[in-house]
Amino acid sequence: MRPLPLDDRPLDQPAGSRLPLDAPRRDEVLAAHAEALAQDVSGYADPATGLFVLTASFLARRGTCCDNGCRHCPYVRD
């Protein structure tokens, strides 16, 4: 893992390269992420696949980027 500064966008806004505006079910993904952020839990079930997705706040608290392509990575700049 490599330490990086957080991007300057709010944690509820994913990087465009990780969740493009035309991504399928984007609105559902953002709603699930927002609910997880509000509940201060580490993640949520992806609406399409059911896979567990970490929230931006959890990833920010971890303090480093893992380079695994996380959907809500707070370190990605684009």
Two tokens at 67? 């380079």
Contact 69, 55 (CB under 8 A): no
Task: Dump pLDDT digits (tens) for 2-26.
Answer: 667 899 999 999 999 999 999 999 9
The reported pLDDT for the residue numbered 1 is 63
Average pLDDT over residues 18-42: 97
* Proportion of the chain above pLDDT 70, given as a percent: 95
Banded pLDDT at 51 (limits 50, 70, 90): very high
Two tokens at 59? 């990833």
The reported pLDDT for the residue numbered 4 is 77
